[in-house]
Structure 1
Amino acid sequence: MGQTSGHPYPYTDRADAGRVLAGALADYRGRKGLLVLGLPRGGVPVAAEVAGALDAALDVVLVRKIGHPRQPELAAGAVAEAAGERTAVWNDDVVRFWLASAPATGQAELDAVLSAESAELRRRAGLYRPNRPVQGIRGNTVIVVDDGLATGATMRAALAAVRNLEPQWLVAAAPMSCAPAGGITALADDVVIPWADSTLSAVGQAYRVFGQTGDAEVRALLRVE
């Protein structure tokens, strides 16, 4: 796992972070079939810098949090889509507690949240890939990029979705993490985080400028016409 880069922290913005991350990933440049997948929306500007520096194809892996039915800010899991296939990853402790506290309706309510988030994934897939085929993953080197890791749940869901599509080598990459990324290492062949275990309480604290990334910016970076 990458630990340091000599770069002064915090990052200026996502583009700056992407350039630093690209430097940490430089050994992957030139690999045949190299593909960089950004996590919309904030991970895509970082991924675009990485893809440009490594001369790699750029696409997205879509992830949505599955919120607790009564406490939406609490993640019961996440659902991800890559190359047209979806995978759900669950926070087992949260799910067990929820099903025990609402035995009659718990599963149906959880299924309803999953259905709604899956529908949002389909909407975003149509928005970001309206007229282009999905990139090939099977047998290739794939780098999954986000703008930072807080709990790591979103990255874990993305990696699980991509792993199901049988890449030859799977890399998890982010400019920073708020805490040790132990859960990530079990899902990826390599983990690259220049500012690992930053001890910050939120990803946004790693950036001087950390505005919202809109759909229009993501579409422009993906060159959607």
Structure 2
Amino acid sequence: MSIFADRVDAGRQLAAALETVSDPRAIVFGIPRGGVVVAAEVARARGLPLAAAVVRKLGAPAHEEYAMGAIAEGVKIVNTDAVRQGGVTPEQLATVEESERVELDRRTRLFAASTPSVSGRTAIVVDDGVATGATAMAACTALRAHGAARIVLAVPVAPAKWLPDADVVDDFICLRRVRDFWAVGQFYADFTQTSDGEVARLLSRDLPVGE
């Protein structure tokens, strides 16, 4: 069931839904890789700076697309139910985390070297969709720790029953809440994998840099 043509289309639709967020000093944070494509359209339409919120999913050993949790700078979120149901041992979880921390460090150096300070500002966190919500919550938690005054989580699609932690996210904007949800990609006609090069290009575009 395709709802969006591609991530650019989703970003344009999401930007229209964010008209109520009027803070001129807000920063749009895309979650690499695909979320940055969506976020770039939001940033362009709203005239706001674009940055990356680098996180890594902790995928289950037998099913890497299924998140047991996620990590960001100074943040680790683990879904204990997912770990238990998957029969994942502490050793397996530690191995996955070790591998993902290497990739987290690489992407942080590549995408977040010149991220503006979010202290005292609104952070609009954008991804191409929410499945388990682990990566989105890790990104929002990390930005809160960096002093964000307000956090808006904005996504094109999410499971109908999913809601972010109210202690971390101040506002949640979702274009479509879907009951029969299997994977984010099912809602896009084109869900082609985004490359590092495309993310770097979008982050270096001549977008507003804020004060």
TM above 0.5, yes or no, is: yes
19 and 73 in structure 1: CA distance in 2 versus 1, 3 angstrom threshold: closer
Q: State the identity as a percent.
A: 41
Structure 2 unaligned regions, length at least 5: 206-211
TM-score, with structure 1 as normaliser: 0.81
Structure 1 position 214 matched with structure 2 position 195: yes
Larger strand proportion of the pair: 2
Give the number of aligned pairs: 204
Match of 2:137 among 128, 135, 156: 156
For 1:60-209, list aligned pairs within 5 A.
Answer: 60-69=52-61, 72-80=64-72, 85-95=73-83, 106-129=89-112, 132-197=113-178, 199-209=180-190
Residues 186-222 of structure 1 show CA distances to partners (whole Å, capped at 9, x for unaligned) of 5310000111235342211212221111111111101
CA distance in 2, matches of 1:183, 1:32: 24
CA distance in 2, matches of 1:35, 1:201: 30
96 and 208 in structure 1: CA distance in 2 versus 1, 3 angstrom threshold: closer
SS in 2 for 1:27: coil
How much does 1:36 deviate?
A: 0.5
Aligned-residue RMSD, C-alpha? 2.3
How much does 1:74 deviate?
A: 4.3
CA distance in 2, matches of 1:113, 1:150: 19
188 and 96 in structure 1: CA distance in 2 versus 1, 3 angstrom threshold: same
Preserved contact between residue 89 and residue 160 of structure 1 (Cα < 8 Å): no
34 and 164 in structure 1: CA distance in 2 versus 1, 3 angstrom threshold: same
Q: Which amino acid aligns with 1:122?
A: D
Choose 142-151 or 155-164, whichever is displaced more: 155-164
Choose 61-70 or 139-148, whichever is displaced more: 61-70
182 and 111 in structure 1: CA distance in 2 versus 1, 3 angstrom threshold: same
CA distance in 1, matches of 2:171, 2:164: 12
Preserved contact between residue 200 and residue 206 of structure 1 (Cα < 8 Å): no
CA distance in 1, matches of 2:66, 2:183: 16
Give the structure 2 partner of residue 23 of structure 1.
Answer: 16
Preserved contact between residue 120 and residue 148 of structure 2 (Cα < 8 Å): yes
How much does 1:140 deviate?
A: 0.4
Structure 1 unaligned regions, length at least 5: 1-8
Residues 97-144 of structure 1 show CA distances to partners (whole Å, capped at 9, x for unaligned) of 78xx78xxx444433322221111111112224xx4222111100010
Deviation above 6 Å: which 4+ runs of structure 1? none
